[in-house]
């Protein structure tokens, strides 16, 4: 089953049907979509298809991505989401997105920190990585603040929204957490 992680300021849980309108609205904003795999045409139907295609009952399956909502504990207002990709039995890739009005408040930092505790301490994973566009400063600052190591700088490895882009790979081992 997917986790429910209670932090000081919010809950992290499986994405739910009531989240989808807000989820699709922030995903389609230019500043949110800029360095992401989706475009500004991201729609409510795309969000519904994403949720329908996710098997939260088997959370943690190798090769699968799961979206976790970051939501207010009482009002259920959606602040953003975490993406969790179980690369193999021991390694996980994570992603993170906040609606613009909830950025710059430390929410992503608290959410990723909570997710790391869950992945390393509860699921006993060995290595967590995050891949970011090298131009995505807020994303790089977030993982650097959390003490991820910069492991790689791939040059023009992704043809992305009409141009070749560079990516950093950041990683953290359980022994470094
Ligand atoms: C990447 C992203 C999630 C980072 O969000 P964020 O809100 O900047 O990240 P944090 O939670 O670490 O917040 C840091 C900011 O909050 C401030 N802050 C306030 N209280 C804080 C606290 N208690 N702890 C940490 N930071 C705090 C920091 O000073 C910092 O402000 P600054 O950007 O002016 O320096 C966000 O920019 C985003 O959603 N981008 C669009 C999607 C995207 O590109 N995702 C990454 C794909 S790889």
For atom 21 of ligand 1, the residue with the nearest CA is 106
Mean pLDDT, rounded, for 9-37: 97
Say what the pLDDT of residue 172 is: 98
Mutate to test the pocket of ligand 1, among 30, 85, 105 (most ligand atoms within 8 A of CB): 105
> For 47-98, what is each residue's pLDDT tens digit?
999 999 999 999 999 999 999 999 999 999 999 999 999 999 999 999 999 9
Indicate if the alpha-carbon torsion angle 14, 131, 97, 144 is positive or negative.
Answer: positive
Task: Give ∠ CA 167-118-64 in degrees, rounded to 5.
Answer: 55
CA atoms within 13 Å, Cβ hemisphere of 7:
22
Mean pLDDT on 16-31: 98
Ramachandran assignment for 131, one of left (phi > 0), alpha (psi -120 to 50 degrees), beta (any other) = beta
CA of 46 from ligand 1 middle (Å) equals: 25
Ligand 1 in contact with 138 (CB < 6 A)? yes
Each residue's pLDDT tens digit, 102-147: 999 999 999 999 999 999 999 999 999 999 999 999 999 999 999 9
CATH (residue range 5-176) = 3.40.630.30
pLDDT, one tens digit per residue, over 27-57 is 999 999 999 999 999 999 999 999 999 999 9
Q: Enumerate the H helices of 13-128 as residue ranges.
A: 20-27, 30-33, 44-52, 107-117
Do residues 96 and 111 make contact, with C-beta atoms less than 8 angstroms apart?
yes
Q: Are 69 and 14 in contact (CB under 8 A)?
A: yes
Atom of ligand 1 nearest to the CA of 99: 39
- For the Cβ of 107 lying below 6 angstroms from any atom of ligand 1, the answer is yes
Whether residue 1 has pLDDT greater than 90? no
Give the start-to-end residue ranges of the domains of the chain: 5-176
């Amino acid at each position: 089953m997917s986790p429910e992680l209670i932090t000081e300021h919010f809950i992290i849980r499986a994405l739910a049907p009531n989240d989808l309108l807000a989820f699709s609205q922030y995903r389609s904003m230019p500043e949110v979509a800029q360095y992401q795999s989706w475009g500004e045409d991201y729609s409510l139907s795309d969000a519904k298809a994403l949720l329908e295609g996710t098997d939260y009952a088997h959370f943690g399956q190798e090769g699968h991505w799961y979206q976790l909502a970051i939501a207010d504990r009482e009002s259920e207002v959606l602040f953003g989401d975490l993406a969790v990709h179980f690369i193999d039995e021991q390694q996980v890739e994570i992603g993170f997105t906040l609606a613009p009005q909830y950025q710059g408040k430390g929410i992503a930092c608290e959410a990723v920190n909570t997710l790391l505790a869950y992945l390393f301490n509860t699921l006993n994973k060995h290595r967590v990585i995050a891949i970011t566009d090298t131009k995505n400063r807020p994303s790089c600052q977030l993982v650097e603040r959390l003490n991820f190591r910069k492991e790689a700088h791939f040059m023009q490895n992704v043809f992305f929204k009409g141009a070749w882009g560079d990516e950093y790979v950041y990683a953290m081992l359980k022994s470094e957490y």
